[in-house]
């Protein structure tokens, strides 16, 4: 999935629908983050990926807050989607997980699968 394909889905949503979609995506990021944990241990086996997931989640939640408060500051859709899909990250596994998180949020929010 590319940013352009994601934009076809996300950009047409009303702000409240974007909030719902982003909330589902953020929940999915918590599942993605679990992949960084050591198996049945308290440690983290991939701190770099965990940090990257946390940064994506931070930006998504900040965007949700801006949408809910009619904040003047928010990311343009293409920038937000690039962040969400980890386009700038060199970790192919993280990009795959981000795409899963996006597509799963589409499915759960009943967003048309135009992408």
User: What's the confidence (pLDDT) of residue 112?
Assistant: 57
Closest CA to 10 of 74, 105, 86: 105
Q: What is the pTM of this model?
A: 0.90
How far apart CA 83 and CA 26 sit, in angstroms, is 12
User: What's the confidence (pLDDT) of residue 74?
Assistant: 87
First to last CA, the chain: 7
Closest CA to 94 of 84, 102, 86: 86
**pLDDT tens series, the chain, 115 aa:** 899 999 999 999 999 999 999 999 999 999 999 999 998 888 999 999 999 999 999 999 999 999 999 878 889 999 999 999 999 888 999 999 999 999 999 999 877 544 4
User: What's the confidence (pLDDT) of residue 110?
Assistant: 79
How far apart CA 93 and CA 82 sit, in angstroms, is 16
Q: Where are the domains of the chain?
A: 3-108
């Amino acid at each position: 999935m590319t940013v352009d394909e994601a934009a076809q889905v996300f950009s047409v949503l009303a702000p409240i629908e974007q909030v719902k979609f982003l909330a589902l995506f953020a929940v999915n990021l918590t599942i993605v983050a679990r992949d960084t944990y050591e198996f049945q241990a308290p440690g983290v086996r991939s701190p770099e990926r965990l940090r990257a997931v946390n940064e994506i989640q931070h930006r998504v939640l900040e965007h949700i807050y801006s949408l809910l408060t009619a904040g003047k500051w928010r990311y343009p859709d293409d920038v937000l989607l690039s962040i969400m899909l980890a386009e700038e990250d060199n970790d192919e596994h993280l990009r795959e997980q981000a795409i899963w998180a996006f597509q799963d949020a589409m499915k759960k929010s009943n967003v048309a699968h135009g992408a």
